[in-house]
């Protein structure tokens, strides 16, 4: 079986094609022919050595894949050969609140991942994908889609008529924009690129803010909400944006902390604004398999098509990582896995 491996901490250049042995299926396992893999910022962190991994040495990277079931092991009841499926980020987190046990096993960091021709995985780590999605689109459900769903509707508790602030136009933020508009939520989007902001407008964004030309963008958010602030911020910037996100959220609102793209995760914040504003902060660690199933139902019902910025061939895996690292993408970066060896 052909695959890619990367050495955590050795950078993108350590990504290389390898051939791995194929093994027999064990109880409740499924073999999936991988058609597409979607990249996340987490994959860059693994390459950089800034994301915790279990074990030592090279690993098959990636957590987000979509493909076709080609073999089922003993005890598998919910999947058949030919089913179209996507991976679940946490195979052991079926539903309910997050716990250490439910999040102990992950693909591409806590074990081998999905950037390979085939994937052997427990049946509980798979979710059926909406029929109208291509494999490239379906591969974006696992992490970015579920993270957006969790932040908006589970932790965020948004409903029609509420307002959300979305920072940037990466995978999670664009997914959140599409889901928010499908649910009747008003969306404010920031970006340093007017071109990307126009693309966000085409997806339904209600208010656009260029944070490069408007560095105190939290004041513009307050003006756009008549001084009240938003109900929820999807905070992906970390150190460079967190204080402004707290200022932009209204009394009783929430900041859903997802990433640290701007300056990392280390930050010092003033707590007084949180206390007297009755504001809340919540860490979003992707989500459960049930959340992914709920997401897929809405995607099917509203015929939502995830935004894929660019699809790279499997032989261009390094280029895909580099494009992701450049920050020039709008939406998701995907690798098409086809047998061309």
> Does residue 290 sit within a domain?
no
Number of other residues whose CB lies within 10 A of the CB of residue 336: 20
| Residues 149, 72 share a domain | no
Burial class for 19, CB neighbours closer than 10 Å (0-12, 13-18, 19+): exposed
CATH of the domain at 37: 3.90.180.10
CA 127 vs. chain centroid, Å, equals: 16
| Residues 318, 192 share a domain | no
Please give the tally of structural domains in the chain.
2
Matching residue, tokens 């059926």: 128
> Does residue 105 sit within a domain?
yes
CATH of the domain at 244: 3.40.50.720
Between helices 171-182 and 289-301, what is the axis angle to 10°?
60
| Residues 106, 88 share a domain | yes
- Using the 3D structure, point to which of 268, 283, 298 is the last residue of a domain: 283
> Does residue 292 sit within a domain?
no
Q: What is the pLDDT of residue 38?
A: 98
| Residues 179, 52 share a domain | no
| Residues 160, 221 share a domain | yes
> Helical H runs in 168-286?
171-182, 194-202, 217-224, 242-248, 272-276
Matching residue, tokens 């690993």: 59
CA atoms within 13 A on the CB side of 92: 11
Maximum Cα–Cα distance across the chain: 61
| Residues 155, 60 share a domain | no
CB 190 within 8 Å of CB 212: no
Q: What is the pLDDT of residue 282?
A: 94
| Residues 23, 109 share a domain | yes
Long-range CB contacts (< 8 A, 24+ apart) of 20-27? Answer: 20/60, 20/116, 22/118, 23/120, 25/71, 25/72, 25/73, 25/74, 25/120, 26/73, 27/73, 27/74, 27/75
| Residues 97, 6 share a domain | yes
> Does residue 153 sit within a domain?
yes
Q: What is the pLDDT of residue 263?
A: 54
CA 39 vs. chain centroid, Å, equals: 8
Q: What is the pLDDT of residue 266?
A: 63
Instruction: List phi, psi (to 5°) of 32.
Output: -120, 130
Q: What is the pLDDT of residue 271?
A: 80
> Helical H runs in the chain?
41-48, 135-138, 146-149, 171-182, 194-202, 217-224, 242-248, 272-276, 289-301, 317-326
CB 306 within 8 Å of CB 137: yes
Decide: helix, strand or coil at residue 227.
coil
> What does R_g of the chain's alpha carbons equal in angstroms?
20
> Does residue 324 sit within a domain?
yes
Residues in the chain predicted with pLDDT less than 50, given as ranges, are: 341
Number of other residues whose CB lies within 10 A of the CB of residue 76: 19
> Does residue 296 sit within a domain?
no
| Residues 155, 95 share a domain | no
Residue 234 belongs to what domain range?
145-283
DSSP per-residue string spanning 170-197: SHHHHHHHHHHHHTT-EEEEEES-HHHH
| Residues 120, 196 share a domain | no
| Residues 277, 153 share a domain | yes
> Does residue 293 sit within a domain?
no
CB 304 within 8 Å of CB 278: no
CA 290 vs. chain centroid, Å, equals: 16
Pairing of strands 2-5, 16-19: antiparallel
| Residues 192, 88 share a domain | no
> Does residue 236 sit within a domain?
yes
Measured CA to CA, the distance from residue 296 to residue 141 in angstroms comes to 8
pLDDT per residue over 306-319, tens digit each?
999 999 999 999 99
Q: What is the pLDDT of residue 264?
A: 55
CB 227 within 8 Å of CB 196: no
């Amino acid at each position: 079986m052909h695959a890619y491996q990367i050495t955590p901490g050795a950078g993108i250049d350590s990504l290389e094609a390898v051939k791995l042995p194929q093994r027999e299926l064990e109880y409740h396992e499924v073999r999936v022919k991988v058609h597409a893999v979607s990249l996340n910022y987490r994959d860059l962190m693994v390459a950089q050595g800034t994301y915790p991994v279990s074990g030592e040495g090279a690993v098959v990277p990636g957590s987000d894949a979509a493909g076709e079931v080609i073999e089922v092991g003993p005890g598998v009841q919910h999947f058949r050969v030919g089913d179209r499926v996507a991976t679940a980020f946490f195979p052991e987190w079926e539903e309910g609140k997050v716990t250490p046990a439910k999040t102990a096993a992950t693909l591409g960091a806590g074990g081998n991942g999905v950037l390979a021709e085939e994937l052997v995985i427990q049946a509980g780590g798979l979710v059926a994908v909406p029929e109208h999605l291509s494999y490239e689109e379906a591969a974006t459900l696992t992490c970015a889609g579920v993270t957006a769903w969790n932040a908006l509707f589970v932790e965020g508790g948004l409903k029609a008529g509420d307002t959300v602030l979305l920072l940037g136009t990466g995978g999670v933020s664009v997914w959140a924009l599409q889901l928010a508009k499908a649910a009747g939520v008003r969306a404010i989007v920031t970006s340093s690129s007017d071109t990307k902001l126009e693309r966000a407008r085409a997806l339904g964004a209600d208010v656009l803010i260029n944070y490069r030309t408007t560095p105190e963008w939290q004041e513009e958010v307050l003006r756009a909400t008549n001084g009240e602030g938003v109900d929820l911020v999807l905070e992906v910037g970390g150190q460079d944006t967190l204080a402004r996100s707290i200022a932009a959220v209204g009394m009783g609102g929430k900041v859903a902390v997802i990433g640290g793209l701007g300056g990392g995760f280390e930050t010092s914040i003033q707590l007084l604004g949180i206390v007297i504003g009755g504001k809340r902060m919540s860490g979003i660690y992707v989500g459960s398999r049930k959340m992914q199933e709920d997401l897929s139902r809405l995607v099917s019902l509203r015929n939502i098509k995830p935004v894929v910025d660019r699809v790279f061939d499997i032989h261009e895996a390094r280029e895909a990582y580099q494009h992701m690292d450049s920050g020039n993408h709008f939406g998701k970066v995907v690798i098409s896995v086809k047998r061309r060896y």
